[in-house]
Chain A
Amino acid sequence: MKNVIITVLAVSAAALLSAVPASAQGKTLTISWWGFNGEKLEAIVLAPFRAQCGCEIVFETGNNGERLNKIQIRNGAGVDVAYFSDSFSQQGIEAGLFQKIDPSKLPNLAGIYDLAKDPQGGYGPAYTIGRVGIVYDSAKVTTPITSWNDLWREDLASSLSLPGITTTAGPMVVMKAGEHAGVDAFADPDAAFAAVDALKPNVVKNYNTGSEMINLFSTGEVSAAIAQDFTLGQIQAAVPTVVWADLAEGSIATLNTVNIPVGAAEPELAYEFINFILSPEIQQQLAEQGVDAPVVTSVTLTPEQAALWTYGADLIAGLQRIDYVQMNAAKGGWVDRWNEIFGM
């Protein structure tokens, strides 16, 4: 009997091992990401992927700038999969840090929105989609904000927080200021920054992280802000009367991409991981549990689950897009001009 049990266990173990691709066994996948929602990502993504690949997973965490700097210093090595917001991944692409993607190795690409399939000309797909818009405390801002131009309203004096120029959404403020002045900020930055200057009396403090902005709301320092939608749930948890403004011109799309650096040690494992996180099952769980908005078209959410996300074909179709190549080229000069307005 004892021998039978041992035999059954041995056969089971062999069967389990044979289910794991032999090539992945003993390998290590290194992921560079922000480190937020660690427990949920461990349960939804990492544990099942470990079981699938039989590999080890290690991490490099930090904000976009810090992590991109590390990859740049190592000439594109040290990481197999890199998560970035699209403005930063575009900088990585321009610096030659990421390799082009072979779509045939990502069968799950077929099931995601066109916007997310290839947002940057042959590099990594987007695994989630978000938007930049305006949030405001409806208990304090009694006249609803319905346009980007409302940011300049006098009743918002000393009650606004803008994203710092160094954040993902910061340069978008300059673009919106240009539109407010009736010009293209890239063609006429003088007029755009004059409009930014005109906005200054309404600004209490510019924030550099989402948590900093949430804190500004919770302590009552600000009652309106330009924000990314992934922060909305946490702001509302702190101040329930905060709402997402329904803007006539629409919100701005932000995509978070996954890329494979040029020096990736395990590119095949990286493909397997990217394909895994683009699967309908994983995307459904991530959206339901409040981690990321889905890019898979077949994901279905209840109205309550969808309330936090940029979700649904119509909403996604109405988003404005940013030309990050143009924006990144202008960013250095914009940073200096922005600093001269807010830092002098």
Chain B
Amino acid sequence: MKRFAGWTLASPATVLVVVFLVLPVLATIVTTFTTPDGPFATYAAFFASSFRRTVLFRTIQISLVTTVIALVVGFLTAYVVSRAPGWLKSILIIAAVFPLLTGVVVRSFAWLIILGKNGILNSTLLNLGLIGEPLTMLYTQGAVIVAMVYLFVPLMILTLVGVLESIPDDLIQASASLGAKPIATFMQVTLPLAVPGLIVGAVLVFTGSFTSYATPQLLGGEQVMMMGTLMYQQAMVTFDWVAASTIAAVMVVITIAIVLLMTRVARRLNPMVT
């Protein structure tokens, strides 16, 4: 009876999710299997193109590098924030969340000003005499990764602060009282208990990076084309919706695969993870 009541209460939300989220994605993917050339023709064409393969691997590479850097930076920051006294913690969290108050385009645009030929970074290096002429930093993979890390680190911090705060101080003290050095305590107590937060943060950052459009478009352009920009090009310029849907399907499959892989890794690191 309880189970029935639970299903009844959940059914309106479930119907909404299925109708407005799941069905449109399925409808998009179905179109890729119903072409006159056969069910897998569009996928064969996608993977036969060296350019599309390059874009796919580049997107995975940039997303993974962004995720790893965001994990390191986010974890260190979140650790400091979680250990800070109350008033300082509030200030640090506000500082971390502050960039989220502006749009993705604005935050990406800021990096145009920082990394440009006449930008803040080049001007500083020139004034210090460290370089003789401006460096080309924009429209490179490095520029895209830097901007993506900046975009997603706040999410990682917010995710991890809650997890790190929930680790009881008693455990840390117990570890120390049993003779563990701070590094051993960190590696054997803090880090394993933070794994759920790390996985959630990593999934958020990876999927965000993998599907991003504005940042690669502004800071990478055609030279650093990613899956999102390629999909836009196919849909809005060549009007090839089947090709665009194929790209979307490939992105969905890879995202699911990465999430499953991360969950598996998390289970190994911490068997408590479900």
Contact = CB atoms under 8 A, between A and B. Distances in A.
A332 interface: yes
Contact of B51 (A68, A215, A220, A336): A336
Interface in A66-84: 66, 68-69, 72
Nearest to A207: B221
A126 to B, nearest CB: 22
A283 B55 CA distance: 46
Contacts of A221: 116-117, 138
B139 A205 contact: yes
A208 interface: yes
Interface residues of B, number: 28
Interface residues of A, number: 30
A164 B54 CA distance: 19
Interface in A209-226: 215, 219-221
B238 interface: yes
Contacts of A343: 51, 54-55, 222-225
B274 interface: no
A207 B218 CA distance: 9
B94 interface: no
Interface in A152-168: 158, 164-166
A317 interface: no
Nearest to A221: B117
Contacts of A166: 233, 236-238
A165 B222 CA distance: 10
Contacts of A339: 51, 222, 225, 230, 233
19 contacts: A65-B239, A69-B236, A69-B239, A72-B239, A164-B221, A164-B222, A166-B237, A205-B139, A219-B117, A332-B238, A335-B237, A335-B238, A336-B49, A339-B51, A339-B225, A342-B223, A343-B54, A343-B223, A344-B50
A206 interface: yes
B64 interface: no
Nearest to B134: A220
A234 to B, nearest CB: 17
Nearest to A170: B237
Q: Which of B112, B222, B224 has the most CB of A within 10 A?
A: B222
A339 B51 CA distance: 7
A215 B49 CA distance: 33
Nearest to A206: B222
Contacts of B116: 219-221
Interface in B215-242: 217, 221-225, 230, 233, 235-240
A204 interface: yes
Contacts of A332: 238, 240
A241 to B, nearest CB: 15
A343 B52 CA distance: 10
B22 to A, nearest CB: 21
Given A69-B239, A72-B239, A336-B49, A205 B223 contact: yes
B222 A65 contact: no
Nearest to B117: A220
B48 to A, nearest CB: 11
B50 A340 contact: yes
Nearest to A67: B236
A65 B136 CA distance: 31
Closest CB pairs A-B (n = 7): A166-B237, A65-B236, A220-B118, A343-B225, A342-B222, A219-B116, A205-B221
Nearest to B138: A221
Given A342-B222, A343-B51, 15 more contacts: A65-B237, A65-B239, A166-B233, A205-B138, A205-B222, A205-B223, A221-B117, A221-B138, A331-B238, A332-B238, A339-B51, A339-B222, A339-B230, A343-B54, A344-B50
Contacts of A331: 238
Interface string A50-92: 0000000000000101101100100000000000000000010
A219 B236 contact: no
A91 B238 CA distance: 10
A210 to B, nearest CB: 15
Interface in B167-224: 217, 221-224
B162 interface: no
B88 to A, nearest CB: 38
B119 interface: yes
Contact of A344 (B54, B112, B118, B240): B54
Contacts of B138: 205, 221
A69 B235 contact: yes
Interface string A172-215: 00000000000000000000000000000000111110000001
Contacts of A205: 138-139, 221-223
Contacts of A336: 49, 51
A222 to B, nearest CB: 9
Contacts of A66: 236
Contacts of A165: 222
